Structure 1
């Protein structure tokens, strides 16, 4: 037997007893009162199972966690920057010291030359 044959064998009276229809809804447009009425599948209507307070608490916790992570990242960046600055400062000091040493050698050479000329001049004056 086909499914249509089975449906015709079942009387409308017995169907009404089995399937309870809501009297407030009225007659179905399709006329297929024997079919089970299905509601639209909406995830929001199912709910997440969490109340508003729980959601608020969860949001607050997430904000705290994000703030803490940001704090740790900022701290890490600051440490790295401090280390880099320290290295740069050390290199600058070294370069400055080398520059002073070069200047000192040049200045020392000039001073030595000046003293030699003075000695030469003094020697010439003494010989007269």
Structure 2
């Protein structure tokens, strides 16, 4: 046989997990404990730094998305307030028009607009 040929024999199957039998205290549903290894979860400085950087990038992205959402919400609120104010002003002028002449109401509108521009 040459080194290039592959054997047709099946690979050996992994041995099944060894059965530990019945527990002496009767608590078979609790898994066996492993030895305490305090250094098992330690990672290198580079790995911790990479994870920290990824966490900071994620936080920055979340903050940006929240700010964008809040900005959209605020624009919606301001538009709604402006719309309500315009509606109230229109109703007020309509009430005035019932009592006064149309031209006088228009003069008052212009006068109020001038005052708004001066005061703001």
| Structure 1 match to 2:54 | 61
Q: From 85, 95, 100, give the equivalent of 1:102.
A: 95
Matched, 1:41 2:49: no
User: Given the two structures, how large is their TM-score scaled by the length of structure 2?
Assistant: 0.50
How many Å separate the matches in 2 of 1:77 and 1:55? 33
User: Given the two structures, how large is their TM-score scaled by the length of structure 1?
Assistant: 0.47
Matched, 1:80 2:73: yes
How many Å separate the matches in 2 of 1:47 and 1:107? 84
| Structure 1 match to 2:114 | none
- Alpha-carbon RMSD across the aligned residues, in angstroms, is 2.1
Larger relative contact order (CA 8 Å, sep ≥ 6)? 1
* Structure having the higher Rg: 1
Unaligned runs of at least 5 residues, structure 2: 1-34, 105-120
How many Å separate the matches in 2 of 1:74 and 1:47? 37
User: How many residues in Structure 1 have an aligned counterpart in Structure 2?
Assistant: 69
1:70-119 superposed Cα distances (whole Å, 9 cap, x missing partner)? 1101111110121121012101101111101211221229x8xxxxxxxx
Unaligned runs of at least 5 residues, structure 1: 1-39, 112-128
How many Å separate the matches in 2 of 1:61 and 1:108? 70
How many Å separate the matches in 1 of 2:45 and 2:82? 54
